[in-house]
Chains A and B, each alone.
Chain A
């Protein structure tokens, strides 16, 4: 994935640690959307997700010296984002306040495309939303690993490092999460 870039993520953070602020901008550009997808699927609130991504990238700026080359940069960054997202979820559970972001997907507005393959696109959008909804109903520890593995397409080893859980447990959780999702989405086909 990184081969299309001149510098790898690890080289960029190294340059940033040495004072190159442009390297920080490059890292932000590389990771902002990936982090947004991960956090949004995790907390199911676009505004909160954007705040968490921003917090993550600010932490990257202020705590750049905490990164050590022993770990992959993306793993380190996902760990920060994941921890912030988990903290937010815990706060949310404590508040137990239903807000607009927790509305069912039935309440969401859809952008209906107007070209010829409208039906196919609408169906794709519908399936996507149903999957998103099903993911939200998974327990937190299943949801996090399934997003990292199946949506972010990280390796099992990376997922294991990010969630700080043994590899075997991660594999087992992912398999069980897939079985639960399949059970929930049976009618979708």
Chain B
């Protein structure tokens, strides 16, 4: 047996958890190695000493303070809620109280939204009377040229007239056109 294997088995040996064969192996190793036997004995003593360590007592005011804290926790709203949460019903994740409050809020919001909505038809917009009066005061001009008429004059002078081109293609020339070089 090697040293590290012996050390792995020390606790099991002291607590009588080794099978007989292993136990004998450990004992044989200790016979051959006095320092191993000393180590085993030292750990056994240490374990006994730890068991005998004096108990650490709580202070005199401990119970009084604890009861105060318990009383405080008992009266805390969050804990009251926690205490009843397992038994109470919920609506969409809300407790009955919160569900009622939320419902009221939603109804109130809908009512406010309805109040804010315009009641008149958008097509029948009436012009304010002040604007109508101003419009009446503007004089109507008498010499307005018809814009369509002007456009017609412009078309007559246009050299890119499509009809002229067609006339040339058909062999009918305008009387104003003189052929040059065709004697």
Contact residues of A with B, CB < 8 Å? 28, 32-33, 36-37, 40-41, 46, 49-50, 53-54, 57-58, 61-62, 65, 124-125, 127-128, 131-132, 146, 150-151, 153, 171-172, 174-175, 178-179, 181-182, 185-186, 189
Contact = CB atoms under 8 A, between A and B. Distances in A.
Which of B46, B49, B50, B55 lies at the interface centre, i.e. has the most chain A CB atoms within 10 A of its CB?
B50
Given A54-B66, A179-B7, A65 B50 contact: no
A62 B62 contact: no
Interface string B93-110: 000000000000000000
Interface residues of B, number: 33
Contact of A182 (B8, B42, B55, B57): B42
Contact of B11 (A46, A50, A62, A175): A175
B59 interface: yes
Interface string B39-52: 10011011101111
Contact of B51 (A65, A151, A181): A151
Interface of B: 7-8, 10-12, 39, 42-43, 45-47, 49-59, 62-63, 65-66, 69-70, 73-74, 79, 82, 86
B7 A28 contact: no
